[in-house]
Amino acid sequence: MVTAAVLALAVLAPSIFHTMGLDAAHVAASFAFLPWTHPETGTALPLFQLGWSLNLELEFYLLFALVLAVLPSRRVGATVTVVAGLVAAGLIFRPDVAAFRVWTSPILVDFVLGMVVAVAFLGRMRLSRPAGLILLAVGSAALFMTPAPQATYDLWRWLTAGVPAAVILLAAVMLEKGGHVRRIGWLRFLGDTSYALYLCHYFAIGAVRAIWPVAGVDGRVDGIAFLATAAALALAGSCIFHLFVEKPAVRLARRFFCLTPLRWRP
């Protein structure tokens, strides 16, 4: 649906995008979550450019579905082994085809880091409040002090960004697990809208960029005003999308596939 919206906007209002070339094969690949070379940037970005991460997520979900055939105690190890093999193959053979280049990217290691956090969270590991806060500070400092990745599929991105992010996530979930975090309803709601925000902020920034030339905002406040306006619009749009699109779609899918939502109890 989001890709279809981007396609419609690219045809009707291409000026809101920085880079938006249309190519039939690229459009078809974008709908199929198949990594494909973007006709303008030359990189493996889909029509909805933020969707590059969704392409990787789909690969991981397929991989994880396959390892469900393995004994539960060996699933994490099997997944790590396959990911390591894929990354090694990418580094050795350096594939030219966009799909193979993405599917063997070192950024796949981030999924392994997420699994490590999940194992720690679901296991017996506990952290005191001071330990959790120290871990949170260390992860945050490491994330902001390391150089930003130069490219989406940067060789060392998993180390410079993935590991600090995993440390931050581990600290956050362990603090919650230990009962050291006060539950605040509106913050939890914003957390629930995070995926919708991921989808909507792309459109919010494009919309503000389109109307900004006629807004007449000048001077040093220009950048701040643009950021504040785009953030407010993205947040409002994500809340609407979450309530009236995402939640009904999830309920429909659960009813159709007879799924029961999983709930964690501390």
Question: Residue 15 has what pLDDT?
Answer: 66
Is the predicted pLDDT of residue 220 greater than 80, yes or no?
no
- Cβ-based burial of 212 (10 A; exposed 0-12, middle 13-18, buried ≥19): middle
Predicted structure pTM score: 0.85
**And the tokens for 77?**
């190890």
Question: Residue 119 has what pLDDT?
Answer: 93
Q: What share of the chain is helix, strand, coil (3-state, %, to 5)?
A: 70, 0, 30
Give percent of the chain above pLDDT 90: 53
Task: Specify the residue for token string 């940067």.
Answer: 154
- Whole-angstrom distance, CA of residue 85 vs CA of residue 98: 18
Question: Residue 266 has what pLDDT?
Answer: 54
Single out the residue of 108, 66, 67 nearest to residue 87, CA to CA.
108
Is the predicted pLDDT of residue 175 greater than 90, yes or no?
yes
Cβ within 8 Å of residue 148, ≥6 positions away: 160, 161
Question: Residue 130 has what pLDDT?
Answer: 95
pLDDT band at residue 213 under the 50/70/90 scheme: confident
Average pLDDT over residues 44-71: 90
Question: Residue 117 has what pLDDT?
Answer: 96
Give percent of the chain above pLDDT 70: 91
Straight-line distance from the first to the last Cα atom of the chain, in angstroms, rounded to the nearest whole number: 36
Q: Which residue has the higher pLDDT, 55 or 19?
A: 55
Inter-residue contact 108 to 86 (CB < 8 Å): yes
> Mean pLDDT, the chain, as a whole number?
87
Taking the CA atoms of the chain, what radius of gyration do you get in angstroms?
21
- Mean pLDDT: which of 18-22, 39-43, 200-204, 246-250 is highest? 246-250
